[in-house]
Amino acid sequence: MAKIQSLRGMNDLLPADSSLWQYLERIVSDVLSRYGYQEIRFPILEQTELFKRSIGEVTDIVEKEMYTFDDRNGESVTMRPEGTASCVRACMQNSLLDNQQIQRLWYAGPMFRYERPQKGRLRQFHQIGVETFGIASADIDAEIIMMTARLWKELGIEEHVSLQLNSIGSLQARADYRQALVDYLQQHFDKLDEDSQRRLESNPLRILDSKNADTQVLLDGAPLLADYLDEDSQQHFAKLKSLLDTAGINYEVNPRLVRGLDYYNKTVFEWITDQLGAQGTVCAGGRYDGLVEQLGGKSTPAIGFGMGIERLCLMLQELKVLPDTISAAPDVYFVVAGEKAELSAFQLSEQIRDTLPGLKLQLHCGGGSFKSQFKKADKSGARIALVMGDNEAEQGLVNIKWLRKEVEGEQPEGESGQQTVENNVVAEKLAEIF
């Protein structure tokens, strides 16, 4: 019988990697909470109409990439391809935006897009998203960008990411520019790559970020979006750049940065890296002041961003900037043999956990000889083994054995690398080591 495999592009997260994800999520949630952001959670499945109305029916996501199906009531539902639309829906449904309330929210979880799987791009991928509602001024744009800069610093990757920035103006300014761009590109239609030819009528602004080299050369002569910006957008962008300059945040204005979703306006930005090959974007976002109204709510200014967990984890591994403390290995492995020793070890283990709640202690279960247990202790990656037999149990003693010497001076002198202590002081001894 053939073995059942996971679906293509939908990967398992194994124990060896889960500690890395937990580390990243812990750092992110800590930074966000320090800026006043609160976590929100919402369903994976939504009405398909939510994404058609928000992302845009003629985008690649809606046309080709969404996991959409009819449920048992015949209603069309979709596994969320991104988080912003769901967050807006949740806020509207639960009255979080009534009376122009300001909300600073974040979320994390799986998203789904039917794309060609490759390094850093999966069909089930995980994002951390941040959304801010109710603030129209450029200071909040600057703050969330500065917040991401602080995150890179705390993760140790600030030297390996760079910020690209642009303004795509108001909806009207973008419509005017869209027409000018189409008029220009139609004159050079035969020189466009196949994807760009298809997008010319449906979503021409996406041609600006085409990866085709010939198309990029052709765009050198295209009209510039900056020349079509309305005065309010120009002032907003100038204020944002001034705030970032004052904060010492380096950036590059990229006039071809437009983002792939229809709901963006004014500020758009991306943090990119050269450490991940073709998938170089690790964080991206921008303003979407019209989305709440577009989905049936009152006009509400908003800005947000998303960052890919898989890509950030890959980057942390590639750069080798992970602290030793995130290891999934236990700190201590308790080797025990004999009925009396088993009873005593269970009691002592819980006492140690009470005293040292941050210590990772694994008590051996399943029996076996000392030799076989020591093999498991060594394989576990633990630095210390606690060793107890019936004789030690009767005397209220336990042996502390160093399995590997990682810190100078921590191992006792002598060839055994072991010392015997009373049960009531073992926690104190472990505290000295860890």
| Cα–Cα dist 273/242, whole Å | 24
Distances (CA, A) of 354 to 159, 350, 425: 41, 6, 13
* DSSP per-residue letters across 214-274: HHHHHHTTSPPGGGG--HHHHHHHHHHHHHHHHHT---EE-TT---S-TT-EEEEEEEE-S
**Mean pLDDT lowest for which of 74-83, 386-395, 399-408?**
399-408
Query: Please, what is the average pLDDT of the chain?
Result: 90
Element (H, E) at 59: none
Question: In the predicted model, is pLDDT for residue 409 greater than 60?
Answer: no
Across 141-150, average pLDDT: 97
Using pLDDT thresholds of 50, 70 and 90, give the confidence band for residue 412. Answer: low
Contacts of 243 (CB under 8 A, 6+ apart): 138, 139, 142
State the pLDDT at residue 326.
80
State the pLDDT at residue 407.
46
Question: In the predicted model, is pLDDT for residue 334 greater than 70?
Answer: yes
Look at residues 156, 151, 207 and name the one whose alpha carbon lies nearest to residue 35.
151
Nearest 5°: phi and psi at 287? -85, 145
Q: Cα 65–67–70 angle (5° rounding)?
A: 135
Q: What is the pLDDT of residues 215-265, one digit of tens each?
A: 888 888 888 888 889 999 999 999 999 999 999 999 999 988 887 667 889
Whole-prediction pTM: 0.86
| Residue 6 burial (CB count, 10 A) | 9
**Mean pLDDT lowest for which of 138-147, 192-201, 315-324?**
192-201
Element (H, E) at 12: none
Across 314-342, average pLDDT: 89
State the pLDDT at residue 172.
85
Question: In the predicted model, is pLDDT for residue 347 greater than 90?
Answer: yes
Return left, alpha or beta for 56; rule: phi > 0 is left, psi -120 to 50 is alpha, else beta. left
Q: What is the pLDDT of residues 255-280, one digit of tens each?
A: 888 876 678 899 999 999 988 876 68
Element (H, E) at 196: helix 194-202
**Which value, to the nearest 10 degrees, does the dihedral of the CA atoms of residues 315, 321, 325, 327 take?**
40
State the pLDDT at residue 278.
66
Question: In the predicted model, is pLDDT for residue 7 greater than 80?
Answer: yes
Domains defined for the chain, CATH in brackets: 15-169+229-319 (3.30.930.10), 329-433 (3.40.50.800)
Query: Facing residues of 126 across strands?
Result: 110
Of 14-28, 34-48, 186-200, 268-282, which has the strongest mean pLDDT?
Answer: 34-48
State the pLDDT at residue 410.
53
